[in-house]
Structure formats: structure tokens, C-alpha cells
């Protein structure tokens, strides 16, 4: 890791990605469903979060304007350290960006799932 800026995230396993694709068929053209951001715009940390963190999808959002996201709990919390919501950007229409997910969650709210969906993910620092 070279010291540039990046983001700390839980990267979803291939099995978790396929499971979520089946459970929530993407509503928009670009299927994203890659990671849960923990913190954005940081240098590589000396230590990653534990792999054993409990991660579960607890809600769904479609803003009707081309952005679909899944709300996530990490170790029982839905709030990231920066105040945003833990989430997975699930699918996007052309012209929409993953960075718009937190605003969509704040503006449009989300629908809770009847049962949380546990997912497997690996902590990783990703270069921007």
C-alpha cells in the first residue's frame, strides 16, 4: 500500500454478491454491489478491522431516480464513523454515482427487510 488516499471497506465475497443479486435483481443498468464503505478519503491503516465483524443487509432503497442501495448493519450499527449510513450501492442508472447513495438514503428513507441477510465480506483498504 503506497500511502495515497483510499477508502477502508468490507469487500463482499463473490458468494455474497451473487446471493444479493438473486435476492434483489438489479433495477438499474449498472450492477455495483461490491463493498460496504467504513471510511472514505484516508491513508492505508496500520491495522484492518476484524474479519469476524457481523455484517447483515437490513434494508432496501430505490430512489426511483436511478439509484438502488442496500442498508447494512456492521456489528449492530447502521451508522459509519463519519455519520453516513453503512450501505451497499446495488445498482445505478447512467449518470448516477455511488457517492450519491448516502444522500438518497437521507432524502428518501428505506424499507426494512423482514429478516436481516447475513453476508460475508473481507476488510480491505482500497485505493481511490
- Per-residue model confidence as pLDDT tens for the chain (128 residues): 456 899 999 999 999 999 999 999 999 999 999 999 998 889 988 888 777 679 999 999 999 999 999 999 999 999 998 899 999 999 999 999 999 999 999 999 999 999 999 999 999 998 88
Q: Enter the pTM of the model.
A: 0.92
- Strands 67-74 and 55-62, sheet pairing: antiparallel
- Output the CA torsion sign for 76, 81, 85, 86: negative
Opening angle at CA 88, ends 39 and 36, nearest 5: 35
> 102 and 85 in contact (C-beta within 8 Å)?
yes
> 17 and 119 in contact (C-beta within 8 Å)?
no
Amino acid at each position: 500500500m503506497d500511502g495515497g488516499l483510499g477508502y477502508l471497506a468490507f469487500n463482499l465475497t463473490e458468494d455474497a454478491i451473487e446471493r444479493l443479486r438473486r435476492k434483489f435483481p438489479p433495477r438499474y443498468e449498472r450492477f455495483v454491489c461490491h463493498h460496504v464503505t467504513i471510511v472514505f478519503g484516508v491513508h492505508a491503516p496500520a491495522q484492518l478491522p476484524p474479519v469476524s465483524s457481523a455484517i447483515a443487509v437490513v434494508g432496501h432503497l430505490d430512489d426511483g431516480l436511478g439509484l438502488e442501495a442496500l442498508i447494512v448493519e456492521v456489528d449492530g450499527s447502521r451508522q459509519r464513523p463519519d455519520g453516513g449510513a453503512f450501505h451497499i450501492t446495488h445498482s445505478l442508472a447512467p449518470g448516477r454515482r455511488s457517492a450519491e447513495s448516502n444522500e438518497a438514503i437521507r432524502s428518501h428513507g428505506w424499507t426494512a427487510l423482514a429478516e436481516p441477510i447475513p453476508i460475508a465480506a473481507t476488510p480491505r483498504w482500497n485505493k481511490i
